[in-house]
Structures are given as C-alpha cells and as structure tokens.
C-alpha cells in the first residue's frame, strides 16, 4: 500500500501554515506573540544578533540522500552556529520555504519536524515565515535572532599578537561524509539493485547530514568566565576561516599540522579516497565547529578540556599566515573552501 500523499493545493498556503503551526513547540517567555499575526512580538535583552542563511536544492543539498527531517534540522543548526560564533544565545527563527509540486503536505511536515527538533534542542522558537511556489526545487531560508550582553560580544576582529588559536571538535568529517554519499549515489545510479554501504561511515555521514551547532562550547566558555578575543564558525573550511580572522584583526596566524584535530575514521576514510587528510581539515568545510582565539592567561582554564584543541598562535601580520607541517616545513595558508560563484 502506498503512503498517503496530500497535495499542498488541497490545503492552500494558509491551510498548510495552520497545519504546521500545530507542530510548533510551546513558546518561551521571550516570545510574546508568535505565528498567526502580521508580525511576531519578541522580548529580548542585550545587544540583538541577527543572521540569515539560505539552502538551495542542487547547490547545498541533494534530496537523493538528504532526509527531509535532517535537512530541517541542519537549516536551523547552521544559523544557530552563526549566533554561537558571536558568543551569543539564539532565541527566535523565521523560516521561508519555496516548494515545487513534487512535495506533498506529508513531506513538508517531515521537513518541519526536523526544524522543530532543532528548535527544541537549541531552546528557540519559530515565530513566523513564508511559503511560496518554486519552479526549481526546494529552497529554505532561515533568519535567526539572538542576543549577547555588550561586554561579551565576540567578533572576528579582536585577535591580538600572542593569542592562542583554538578549535572545537574535529575537522574534515563533514567533507568526507559528502564524498561517501556522492560515491554511493553514483553506485546506485549505475546499479539500482545495489544497497548503500555507509554503515562504517556513520560518523562522517551524520556530520554532513545533521551538523550540531556548538552552543555547548559557548556555555562552557561562559562557565569559565572566558570571552574569546575573536571567533568564527568553521563553515567554509579551517583555512578560509583563519584568513577571515587574520584579515579582520590585522594579524597573521601560525598553526601546526600535528595539532589539528583529526578523528581516526576521518583519517582512514581520507586514505581510502586517496585524499590528503590535512587538506580535508583545511578546505573541506561544513564542520560547524568553533574557531576562536584566547588570551594566554585563559589557557590554564581550558588546557584539560577534552574537546578544545590548541592549534597555534597569532603573530604579526608581516609574518603571514602559515602552516607548520609535521616535517617542519612552513607553507602558506590558502582559502580553497566552497565558493558559491566559482564555476
């Protein structure tokens, strides 16, 4: 028996919105009025943080292997990561979606279950949005509002000479996860009877399909009374993000290959795919870890943290941006991550 399929046209735009609103979690005390009026009414203290991000089918995701529920979660998480990178706390999101007639009401509900799952995990409210028809597939645009106390704001521009460069988690997993998924897609297209073989790659596939913004790191830094001097999330690759901090702060950076956090499975999969694992960490992107700098006086507070890694230090701008390889060679850091407008 085939699964139930309800055409969106049967409900219409407002009927769809009403149906999705029933799935929304209860509103927090920071939401005075949410879905259902011309605008939401919010109550937020501190400096307001605002960010937005768009995911486009065929550019940012492939529905042949991206589950809709994971896509909904990821759309929220990547925006939360931007708020985390400013040392802030997320509170509210709006979601705009463009839908082609390929999508049923049930499919949209699945997408929003992922969105609301992320809202629950990050303790944020969905307070509005818009739906429209699309001729080119699925588009998702999320805008997020957060806050931060004025004396806790962290920008890309605050790094100073001698600061220690830190990164959370491990790097390169999301990129290798994408390589696994693309390979299995090609295998399936050549032989539809072949089943995907991704069991041993679950960690990397999960990092690609359902990244989790590192709000836990932000909370832990606050508990240690540490305000980073600069910070950015790793969305386009470590190399690219280091250069952003370098440019914004007017400094140089020196990192050490031997200190870069590499998961064992990521290394083994890189070898399998004949890809340099360091290149994956520097240029892969979509890890959504936090790259930040701290004053040397804060090192003692974090030196035993199991998930924060000290990869180098900030130097004079004239010394450049360099990687010291395991063989002690100095090579320049370049940005080879994702560029939307490269052919």
First-last CA distance in the chain: 44
Q: What is the pLDDT of residue 16?
A: 64
Task: Give the residue carrying structure tokens 């914004």.
Answer: 248
Torsion of CA 193, 194, 198, 200, to 10 degrees: 130
Mean pLDDT of 317-331: 97
CATH of the domain at 132: 3.30.1330.10
Strand 139-148 vs strand 230-233: parallel, antiparallel, or unpaired? unpaired
- Residue 170 in any domain: the answer is yes
Q: Give 49-79 pLDDT, tens digit per residue.
A: 999 999 999 999 999 999 999 999 999 999 9
Quick: pLDDT tens for 142-154. 999 999 999 999 9
pLDDT above 70: percentage of residues in the chain? 91
Strands 41-42 and 31-33, sheet pairing:
antiparallel
d(CA 56, CA 62): 9
pLDDT tier, 38 (very low <50, low <70, confident <90, very high otherwise): confident
- Look at residues 94, 124, 152 and tell me which one is the last residue of a structural domain: 152
Final residue before a domain boundary, out of 104, 120, 152 = 152
Cβ pair 333, 282 in contact under 8 A: yes
Residues 333/243, Cβ–Cβ less than 8 Å: yes
Residue 120 and residue 234 in one domain = no
Q: Is residue 47 part of a domain?
A: yes
Over range 291-303, report the average pLDDT.
97
Residues 146 and 161 in one domain: no
Structural domains counted in the chain: 2
Structural domain boundaries, residue 141: 9-152
Of 103-112, 213-222, 237-246, the poorest mean pLDDT is in 103-112
Residues 55 and 139 in one domain: yes
pLDDT digits (tens, 9 = 90+) for 299-315: 999 999 999 999 999 99
* Cα 263 from chain centroid (whole Å): 18
Instruction: Return the CATH number at 268.
Output: 3.90.650.10
The pLDDT of residue 170 is above 70: yes
Q: Is residue 342 part of a domain?
A: no
Q: What are phi and psi of 176, to 5 degrees?
A: -65, -35
21 band by pLDDT with thresholds 50, 70 and 90: low
| Confidence (pLDDT) at 191 | 80
- Asked whether residue 204 is domain-assigned, the answer is yes
């Amino acid at each position: 028996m085939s699964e139930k399929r309800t055409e969106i046209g049967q409900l219409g735009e407002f009927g769809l919105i009403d149906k999705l609103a029933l799935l929304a979690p209860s509103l927090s005390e920071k939401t005075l009025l949410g879905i259902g009026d011309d605008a939401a009414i919010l109550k937020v203290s501190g400096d307001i943080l605002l960010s937005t991000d768009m995911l486009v089918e065929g550019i940012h995701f492939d529905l042949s292997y991206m589950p809709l529920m994971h896509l909904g979660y990821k759309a929220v998480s990547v925006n939360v990561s931007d708020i985390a990178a400013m040392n802030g706390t997320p509170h509210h999101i709006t979601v705009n979606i463009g839908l082609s007639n390929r999508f049923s009401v049930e499919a949209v509900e699945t997408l929003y279950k992922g969105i609301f799952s992320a809202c629950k995990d990050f303790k944020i409210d969905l307070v509005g949005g818009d739906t429209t028809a699309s001729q080119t597939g699925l588009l998702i645009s999320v805008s997020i509002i957060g806050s931060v106390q004025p004396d806790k704001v962290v920008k890309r521009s605050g790094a100073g000479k001698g600061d220690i460069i830190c990164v959370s988690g491990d790097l390169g997993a999301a990129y290798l996860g994408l390589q696994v998924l693309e390979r299995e897609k090609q295998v399936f297209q050549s032989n539809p009877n072949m089943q995907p073989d991704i069991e041993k790659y679950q960690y990397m596939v999960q990092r690609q399909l359902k990244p989790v913004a590192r709000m836990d790191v932000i909370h832990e830094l606050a508990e240690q009374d540490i305000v980073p001097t600069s910070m950015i999330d790793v969305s386009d690759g470590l190399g690219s993000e280091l250069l952003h901090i370098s440019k914004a702060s007017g400094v140089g950076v020196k990192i050490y290959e031997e200190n870069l956090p590499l998961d064992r499975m990521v290394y083994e999969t890189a070898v399998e795919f004949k890809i340099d694992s360091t290149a994956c960490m520097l240029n892969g992107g979509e890890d959504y870890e936090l790259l930040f700098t701290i004053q040397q006086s804060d090192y003692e507070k974090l030196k035993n943290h199991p998930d924060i890694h000290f990869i180098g230090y900030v130097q004079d701008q004239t010394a450049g941006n360099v990687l010291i390889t395991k063989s002690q060679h100095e090579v320049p850091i370049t940005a080879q991550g994702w560029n939307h407008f490269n052919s």
